[in-house]
């Protein structure tokens, strides 16, 4: 059965990642100094990594006590490591360790687990956002400060993600100072994009140099575009046509940017499409998919609608994983927390695929299609992730985890629409008043 094959693939993935975490080469590469993590401590390199990917949300001391309770399979939590010891240990760790683990996981899952595509394309979406970071002088100086109309200045970081919206996997993520714009952050994702990738962009991204970069990677793009960005778009809107193919030429500013970045400056053949939404509103899409026979006008409304998957990823990251609930107050701890949670989210999504495959084959007779409740899946991964990397053969544990995922499913009621809440109460995570796990 397909789900059993996927489960065995997930077992091998855990083994590969575990072997890397325990390797001397990996430790040497991701420690701050040569002398770090050489002495036999209660919080060695691999244990520190496991702690940080264990979805840390509560008080540090409470999290530590519970972590070692799970790690030692004890009946009660006993204090083995203090929070000050944790703070000292994490100063020795480079956050690139989590990025490398994510890269290794990405390479593996696309070879052995993920198969969902759109007309042969891996369907990617790029979008950015901001995160409030700890209110310390060091963090404020590094990431920058937002000055609201009311209230005190707030340190803010800018983040960007490139997500595979059909497999719900974060292919690449970045956190940078807020002074770096979303388009420039999107460029950082380009090394992980290639032939047979189709990238969906929101209306803030269209730029000749960005499209040129996408095409130079052998990938294609589809973006929403507003009136007033380019004359060719305004002319198309004025015609009233459903679609039109045009040669997009770089302006003076685009030429300068392309030359500075070493990008091609040749005109790009693009297709403009007028899409009427269910609300009656009209939006314009611009795409490099110019073959009208292979990609008829009728497929683009649903295609661009799939971009909403990255919005769901952000909702999960900010609300379920509590990205802004930082476990430290330093710049390094912000980077560690961010990339550790990206890795934990990707691992959870990967491990739900066997259960998702079973749902697709075993629930076909039901009225609605079903999906795994990601809130419940992430909740069940807490502490379980520690055991997965502790045992020699996690197949039995993964089988139990799959059974838990299958009990946390919900129907997908297609066609439901809800008004988007643009103004919501902003939740702050006070360092002095962390929740009890």
- Note the maximum CA span of the chain: 73
Average pLDDT over residues 156-160: 98
Give the rounded percent of residues in the chain with a pLDDT score beyond 70: 94
Per-residue pLDDT tens digits for 416-433? 666 666 655 556 676 666
Mean pLDDT value of segment 132-151: 92
200-236 pLDDT per residue, tens = 999 999 999 999 999 999 999 999 999 888 999 999 9
236-284: pLDDT as tens digits? 999 999 999 999 999 999 999 999 999 999 999 999 999 998 888 899 9
Q: What is the pLDDT of residue 204?
A: 93
- Residue among 376, 346, 333 nearest 56 (CA): 333
Report the pLDDT value the prediction gives residue 120, as an integer from 0 to 100: 96
Give Cβ neighbours of residue 82 (< 8 Å, ≥ 6 apart): 61, 64
- Work out the number of other CB atoms within 10 angstroms of the CB of residue 64: 22
Q: What is the mean pLDDT of residues 286-307?
A: 96
- Tell me which residue of 325, 436, 320, 427 sits closest to 375, measured CA to CA: 320
CB 409 within 8 A of CB 359: yes
Can you give the pLDDT at residue 2? 82
DSSP designation for 429: -
- pLDDT class for 103, splitting at 50, 70, 90? very high
pLDDT at residue 1 in the model: 60
152 or 166, greater pLDDT: 166
Report the predicted TM-score, pTM, of the whole model to 2 decimal places. Answer: 0.94
Query: CB-based burial of residue 255 (10 Å sphere; 0-12 exposed, 13-18 middle, 19+ buried)?
Result: middle
Flag whether pLDDT at 356 surpasses 60: yes
| Residues making up the chain, counted from first to last | 437
Query: What is the band of 437 on the pLDDT scale with cuts at 50, 70, 90?
Result: low
Query: What is the predicted pLDDT for the residue at 306?
Result: 96
Domain residues of the chain, as ranges? 2-96+329-413+422-433, 203-306
pLDDT at 333 over 90: yes
pLDDT score at 211:
97
Quick one: what percent of the chain has pLDDT higher than 90?
Answer: 80
- The mean pLDDT value of the chain amounts to 92
């Amino acid at each position: 059965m397909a789900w059993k094959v996927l489960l065995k693939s997930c077992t091998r993935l855990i083994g590969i990642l575990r072997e890397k975490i325990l390797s001397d080469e990996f430790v040497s590469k991701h420690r701050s100094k040569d002398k770090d993590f050489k002495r036999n401590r209660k919080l060695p390199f691999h244990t520190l990594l496991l702690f940080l990917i264990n979805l840390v949300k509560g008080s540090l001391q409470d999290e530590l006590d519970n972590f070692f309770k799970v790690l030692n399979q004890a009946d009660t939590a006993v204090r083995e490591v203090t929070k000050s010891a944790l703070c000292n240990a994490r100063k020795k760790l480079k956050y690139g360790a989590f990025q490398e683990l994510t890269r290794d996981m990405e390479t593996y899952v696309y070879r052995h687990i993920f198969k969902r595509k759109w007309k042969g394309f891996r369907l990617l979406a790029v979008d950015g956002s901001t995160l409030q970071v700890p209110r310390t002088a060091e963090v404020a100086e590094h990431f920058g400060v937002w000055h609201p109309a009311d209230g005190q200045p707030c340190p803010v970081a800018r983040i960007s993600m490139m997500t595979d919206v059909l497999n719900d996997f974060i292919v690449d993520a970045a956190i940078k100072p807020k002074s770096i714009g979303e388009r420039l952050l999107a460029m950082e994702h380009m090394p992980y994009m290639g032939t047979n990738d189709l990238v969906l962009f929101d209306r803030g991204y269209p730029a000749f140099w960005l499209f040129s970069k996408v095409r130079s990677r052998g990938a294609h793009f589809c973006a929403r575009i507003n009136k007033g960005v380019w004359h060719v778009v305004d002319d198309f809107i004025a015609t009233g046509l459903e679609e039109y193919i045009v040669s997009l030429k770089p302006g003076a500013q685009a030429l300068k940017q392309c030359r500075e970045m070493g990008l091609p400056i040749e005109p790009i053949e693009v297709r403009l499409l007028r899409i009427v939404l269910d609300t009656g509103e009209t939006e314009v899409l611009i795409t490099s998919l110019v073959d009208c026979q292979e990609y008829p006008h009728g497929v683009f409304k649903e295609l661009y609608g799939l971009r909403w998957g990255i919005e769901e990823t952000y909702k999960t990251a900010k609300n379920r994983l509590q990205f802004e609930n930082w476990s430290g107050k330093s710049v390094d701890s912000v980077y560690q927390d961010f990339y550790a949670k990206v890795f934990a989210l990707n691992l959870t999504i990967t491990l739900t695929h066997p259960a998702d495959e079973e749902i697709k084959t075993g629930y076909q007779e039901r009225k609605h299609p079903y999906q795994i409740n990601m809130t419940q899946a992430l909740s069940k991964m807490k502490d379980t992730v520690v055991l997965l990397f502790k045992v020699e053969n996690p197949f039995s544990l993964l089988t139990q985890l799959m059974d838990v995922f299958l009990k946390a499913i919900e129907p997908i009621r297609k066609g439901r629409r809800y008004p988007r809440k643009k103004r919501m109460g902003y939740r702050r995570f006070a360092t002095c008043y962390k929740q009890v796990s």
